[in-house]
Amino acid sequence: MKKIIVLAMAVSLTATVISCKKGAEKISSAVLNLGGETEANSIIDFNNNFVDSYKNTSKHIERILKYTEEAVVKSKGGNVMIMPVIISSMDYTLSKIKEVPSGFGKDKAAIEADFNTYKAKKENIEKKLEELKSYMNSEDYKDDKGAKAESIKKEIESDANVLYAAGESVMAKIKPATDAAEEIILKDHPMKEYIISSKNVMNSLDSVIDLLGKQYEGKFNEAEAQKKYDEFVKLVEANSKMDFNVKDQQYSYKKSQFEGFNKAASNFVDNYRKLIRDSKEAGKIPDNNIQQMDSSYETVLSAYNTFVK
């Protein structure tokens, strides 16, 4: 099956509407000269595997950082009811990446450098976590009053910052070629119209999340929130009205996934409407509403990625 771009979190990779790209023909031609559809698929595979790895790794590191915070508190005599449980995660998608595709052209070396930094810091964080676990389980903090826990915490935080920077850099560098590669694949893809329409929805969704994030940190602006709501609803309704009629039978099962994506987007609309009402009454966006929107966004994103895979 032809590969389509998998999207990451809004903070990492914003969906790009293919018909609106600037300079896409130039980039697309460069990819075509390096192997056409085969090279395009290699680029998209790299993108999809890295996106999956970066998403899962980011969540895993968040849990690790929480563990280090609690470890420092406990090792210094503070009250910690239950230490967080951190289970080692197997990054299968990262292991699928054997090399950086040549289709990235002049950016290949820079991508490799960031990618290698990402892998090195990821590995180092895991090693430091195991060292901290051993230290806490053996209660060695009773000998140094938590000094080592504090030291490891700082090392993990430093490595995490470098990993995030490297991950974001990889995302930024691979995006132009990945968009161009998808354009090649979509040229005669049986689901082209449904994918492009759904990416329009994701574009709008990312814009919504960006606005709500700013308003959550600042002041709630009902007019701005309502405007984004109206724009998003219009796209969701248009996408939901599309009759999924793909003649190629190998894509027939995608109909239920397309409908699942639209249902998830519609649920987001319901939560968004509730957020506007609650925020208007409170004068700011309540914590529970922003958490609900974050969870709902992840559901829509997951449904989209399932549909286009």
* CATH topology for the 18-186 domain: Four Helix Bundle (Hemerythrin (Met), subunit A) (1.20.120)
85-96 pLDDT, tens digit per residue, is: 888 777 888 999
Q: Is the dihedral of CA 294, 231, 306, 20 positive or negative?
A: negative
Q: Could you tell me where the DSSP H helices lie in the chain?
A: 24-33, 36-75, 92-95, 108-137, 141-144, 147-186, 192-217, 222-240, 254-282, 287-308
Rg (CA), the chain: 22
218-243 pLDDT, tens digit per residue, is: 899 999 999 999 999 999 999 999 99
53-75 pLDDT, tens digit per residue, is: 998 898 899 999 999 999 999 99
Q: What is the mean pLDDT of the chain?
A: 87
- Given this model, what pLDDT does residue 34 score? 46
- Given this model, what pLDDT does residue 24 score? 35
pLDDT at position 32 over 50? no
Domain positions in the chain: 18-186, 192-308
- Given this model, what pLDDT does residue 35 score? 56
What's the rounded mean pLDDT across residues 81-108? 88
Residue range 192-308, CATH number: 1.20.58.820
